[in-house]
Amino acid sequence: MDVIETINLPNGLKLTVTDSSRRIAADTTKVELTFQVKVEVLESYFTSPDDYFAVKNALGNELTYEHTMERSFVYDKDEVSVRVALLDTFKNNSLNYLSSPNFAKKMALSQLKDIRLNPFKYRAFPYPERAE
């Protein structure tokens, strides 16, 4: 995986774009780009300390937004143009969403909702609940 671009978003987050493309056959490649944003879990995102610790205990100090775009069996002559098209498509469709001032908080609250609805999916991290 090669980092091909890092974008500092207006909301203080950083978008990292990595290329995981690989050869499929003699003249074709699978072009695969991964877009990733790390979000620190802050207590200020939650209405109660219990909610904050629920997310922190289940997911740790940091959440990761990740999206992958790929095209298989791309001819070698088209590899660069397909990579550029995937990158442009993501930027046009998702950059405003990720740049929103409330993106980090909404992501944290979305994770809390999923933890409450599907607790069996999450294994607790070794963080103490909170000091009483």
Residue with tokens 């671009």: 5
pTM to 2 decimal places: 0.86
Low-confidence residues of the chain: pLDDT under 50: 132
SS3 state at 46: coil
Write the DSSP symbol of residue 116. H
Each residue's pLDDT tens digit, 48-75: 999 999 999 999 999 999 999 999 999 9
- Provide the pLDDT for residue 125: 62
Whether residue 62 lies inside any domain: the answer is yes
- Provide the pLDDT for residue 51: 95
Note down the domain range covering 91.
2-121
Split into its structural domains, the chain has a count of 1
Whether residue 47 lies inside any domain: the answer is yes
Report the C-alpha gap between 59 and 55 in whole angstroms: 6
Whether residue 129 lies inside any domain: the answer is no
